[in-house]
Amino acid sequence: MWRDTWLIAALGLRRSLRDRSLIIQALVAPIVIALVVGAAFGAGFSLNVTIGIADADRSDVSQQITQGLVGSGGDGIAFSSVEDVADVERSVDSGVYDAVIVMPEGLRDAALAGRPAQIDVVGRATDPLAQSVAESVAAGVAAQLQTARVTAAAASSAGVDDVGAAIQQAVTTPPPITVTTGEIEGTFSVMAYFAPGMAMLFLFFIIGNGARSIIAERNQGTLPRILAAPVPPASVLLGKTAGVMIVGIVSMSAVWLITWLGFGAYWGAPLGVFLVIVAAVTAIAGISLLITGLARTEAQADALTTIVALLFAVAGGTFFLGATGVLNTLRLFTPNGLALSAFVDLSAAQAGVLEVMPTILLLVGIGVGTATVGLLALRDRVLT
Amino acid sequence: MRAALATARVEWIRFFRDRIAMFSTIALPIVLVLLIGLSFGQAGERLSMGLLEDDPGPLGTGLVTQLQDSAAVDVTIYDDRGDLYRDIRMGVLAGGVYVPQDGAQVEIYVQQTSSGAGVVMSTVNAAAAQVSTEAVAVEVVQNDVPRARAEAAVARAVADVPPVSVATRAVGAANEMEENRFASAVPSQLMLFMFLNGLLGAAALVQARQLRVFQRTLSAPHGLGVYISGLGMSRFAIAMLQAAILLGLGVLSFQIDFGDPVAATVLVVLYGVIVSAAGMLLGGLVRTAEQAVAIAVPAGIVFGMLGGTMWPLSVVGPAMRAIGHLTPQAWAMDAWNKIINEGVGLSGVTTEIAVLAGYAVVLCTLAVWALGRHARTGR
């Protein structure tokens, strides 16, 4: 029986190797798409904001705050002093600054006298992110002024001699919270997300084609002839299933090795990656067999496969990285979404095999369960 | 003309019998528009930041609250360092903040390749200044008077002195695509799926080729030209049906203002010609229906990605933007941006329309050549 099974699987494999459409879908498409995404977003998160500081107050306090901010820019954010404080709106509108923080005339005196005091932020309606960043920086400036006015009030009520010096000191004293930058080790390539995602999308088409060949062979009359020979029906079904699974595992592993070794996209611990590939292919093959088993005609199986593949791709997050809301929950109800979350754990969270084992087992369970139902249906309808 | 219309009618009926085509033409784009609109609602307005806390004291708790209230960041609390690092590495978060037990030594984490470290740093520093007023004032005043007296005086001052306020005003008006997430989802998905469906139409064409329909038309009184134009009209009508449904959904369900109707119509019509011709060209070149699907789906996705229908081209580098403009999608999306956001009419998008018209002429010529060659040579 096993020899028959292997012969049928090997025949399927040989036919796959000659199929140019399969090579396009299994290898070229996922790799090219991953490369395009990699080229578009290879640099990771990127943001550049230029915030102007307009000091219309020109007091000792406002000058100190301006100096402190202008020196404090960093990667992705720059502060610069605005020369023309009269026409801040125009310089924001024309894009010289993404947003401007304005310290109006008389700010220091109002602040220190305990009168209402206000800092203005001028942003561009088309750039809400820069505006909100400027707003939060302005809140920090307001806090510095607040510290100065609280210090002034407290110093005079406590009987401090030199209130002016205390105010100066309050503006320059750093807060008791220090903020340091720590870099996270290890990088993540967006290709390690989109390559497996796209490979799984196209696997639905490839494996679906393989599974449908059972119906096609019955219609062409080759299947009854095989069954007339002393070949058990189980060998035919197992051989077909093994054939499409080997094609799936080999093609997805090839996508992995090419994007990893050729383009440096690290998918994570190799054993874990391989096991997730096997599990994902098992789940997709099971679902394809179920579709084939339930469909009445080859055309119906074809239509169902395309619809299921595209719906799973959309819901499983194949096209988007880092979605929130509905998509983030929905993806865990799809086999490809589950596999993608395991791939992300292996690559971005640097997880080990054991940590992704529950997902691997779940995927294999989905595959075996759906395949059993599908194969039973096929045995009853196609082989008899 | 009547013969061409009759051909178009037959193709149109065949299309409505094809469930996959119906699904990918109408249902899938609608599902995608809904998912994108619902899943990326707040994108682009605030920085996403992850926060990990280790039971911090009052100062640290104050900082955490301050960050959660901050206008600039959208804070997600993590309880696992591995999960936080994962999402930072993936770029899902702009950065992460760790507030330790004493609350004084705050650490921020950013991706190695990220350029947003300064923004995260500035935001956290501002929040730190906001929660430190009292502590700094006590430290300064106690230089001159005993600490207990300084603390009492500062506590009184904090209660008495009103806070310094921040007022924000914006110049210009927010554009439609930023205010209404669906306003960018609908045109981009429309451009993506019109093209994808146009290419998928090649499969039906290959079947007709295999049945030698093109050769037979050579002997018919109306000839090949009429047959090809009929095919083209049916593909174009399908593209227009798709556009009408998606744009109608946008106007009726999501209250999208698509701008000047004349400019939008010219754009959609030209794009419809482009996608129909692209599908007919592919149908004239490939050998089997499987090959047509195998090329159409990846090509539709790749062109969509390069042309800015899956993400705006404003977020990619200049090289990718230049490459993207080799696709008609990029020019169509540029035109939509101008029509919807800047409110321009046809005169404001002449360059884009001219380029798209160029694509239409070239693709139509190539499609007629490929199908004509097939009809004459049988290849």
> What is the distance in angstroms between the Cα of A117 and the nearest Cα belonging to chain B?
5
Q: Does A121 map to a domain?
A: yes
Residue A34: list chain B partners with CB under 8 A: none
Residues A59 and A6 in one domain: no
B108/A36 CB distance under 8 A: no
- pLDDT tops 60 at residue B364: yes
Q: Which of A80-89, A236-245, A306-315, B33-42 has the lowest mean pLDDT?
A: B33-42
Residues A210 and A115 in one domain: no
Choosing from A146, A172, A198, the residue where a domain stops is: A172
Residues A27 and A121 in one domain: no
Q: Which of residues 78-107 of A touch B (CB under 8 A)?
A: 78, 89, 92-93
pLDDT given at position B351: 95
Short-list A11, A4, A2, A7, CA closest to A210: A11
pLDDT digits (tens, 9 = 90+) for B310-352: 888 887 888 889 999 999 999 999 999 999 888 889 999 999 9
Nearest by CB to residue B91, choosing from A45, A48, A128, is: A45
pLDDT given at position B39: 64
Q: How far apart are CA B310 and CA A247, in angstroms?
A: 30
pLDDT confidence tier of residue B274, bands split at 50, 70 and 90? very high
Choosing from A114, A145, A172, the residue where a domain stops is: A172
pLDDT given at position A368: 95
Mark residue A340 as left, alpha or beta (left: phi above 0; alpha: psi -120 to 50; beta: remaining): alpha
Q: How far apart are CA A152 and CA A334, in angstroms?
A: 62
Residue B135: list chain A partners with CB under 8 A: 175-176
Q: Does A135 map to a domain?
A: yes
Q: Does A224 map to a domain?
A: yes
- pLDDT tops 90 at residue B366: yes
pLDDT given at position A323: 65
Residues A240 and A331 in one domain: yes
Contact between residue B184 and residue B41 where contact means Cβ atoms under 8 Å apart: no
Q: Does A178 map to a domain?
A: no
- Select from B31, B59, B89 the residue whose CB has the most chain A CBs within 10 Å, as the one to mutate to test that interface: B89
A169/B140 CB distance under 8 A: yes
Residues A148 and A293 in one domain: no
A139/B130 CB distance under 8 A: yes
pLDDT digits (tens, 9 = 90+) for B65-74: 888 888 778 8
SS3 A99: strand
- Structure ipTM: 0.78
Residues A194 and A84 in one domain: no
> What is the distance in angstroms between the Cα of A263 and the nearest Cα belonging to chain B?
17
- What are the tokens at A237? 């079904």
Give how many domains chain A has, as a whole number: 2
A266 touches chain B (CB under 8 A): no
- Select from A59, A149, A184, A355 the residue whose CB has the most chain B CBs within 10 Å, as the one to mutate to test that interface: A184
3-state per-residue secondary structure call for A271-328: HHHHHHHHHHHHHHHHHHHHHHHHCCCHHHHHHHHHHHHHHHHHHCCCCCCCCCCHHH
Residues A295 and A155 in one domain: no
Residues A88 and A225 in one domain: no
Structural domains of chain B, with CATH: 2-40+175-377 (no CATH), 47-131 (3.40.190.10)
pLDDT confidence tier of residue A41, bands split at 50, 70 and 90? confident
Residues A168 and A211 in one domain: no
CB contacts < 8 A (A, B):
417
Q: Does A140 map to a domain?
A: yes
What's the whole-number mean pLDDT along residues B100-109?
Answer: 84
A147 touches chain B (CB under 8 A): yes
pLDDT given at position A20: 80
A291 touches chain B (CB under 8 A): no
pLDDT given at position A270: 95
Residues A95 and A125 in one domain: yes
- pLDDT tops 60 at residue B43: no
Residues A141 and A30 in one domain: no
Q: Does A12 map to a domain?
A: yes
A323 versus A145: which is more confidently predicted? A145
Q: Which of residues 278-317 of B touch A (CB under 8 A)?
A: 288, 290-291, 293-295, 297-298, 301-302, 305-306, 310-311, 315-317
This prediction has a pTM of: 0.80
* Domain with A301 in it: 2-42+190-381
pLDDT more than 90, % of chain B: 26
- What are the tokens at A28? 């070229």
Distance of CA A367 to the CA centre of its chain: 25
A74 touches chain B (CB under 8 A): yes
B326 touches chain A (CB under 8 A): no
Residues A106 and A230 in one domain: no
A171 versus B37: which is more confidently predicted? A171
| DSSP label of B165 | E
CA A210, A214, A219, A220 dihedral sign is positive
Tell me how far apart the 2 most distant CA atoms of chain A are, in Å.
Answer: 110
A25/B124 CB distance under 8 A: no
Q: Work out the mean pLDDT of chain A and round it to a whole number.
A: 86
pLDDT given at position A44: 55
Burial code (b: 16+ CB inside 10 Å, e: under 16) for B55-82 equals ebeebbebbbebbeebbbbbbbebeeee
pLDDT given at position B42: 46
Q: Does A177 map to a domain?
A: no
Q: Which of residues 324-383 of A touch B (CB under 8 A)?
A: 324-328, 330, 344-345, 348-351
Q: Does A255 map to a domain?
A: yes
Q: How many alpha carbons lie under 13 Å from residue A8 in its C-beta half-sphere?
A: 27
Q: What is the CATH number of the domain that holds A110?
A: 3.40.190
A11 versus B20: which is more confidently predicted? A11
Q: Which of residues 15-74 of B touch A (CB under 8 A)?
A: 19-20, 23-24, 28, 31-32, 35-36, 38-41, 44-47, 59-60, 63, 70-73
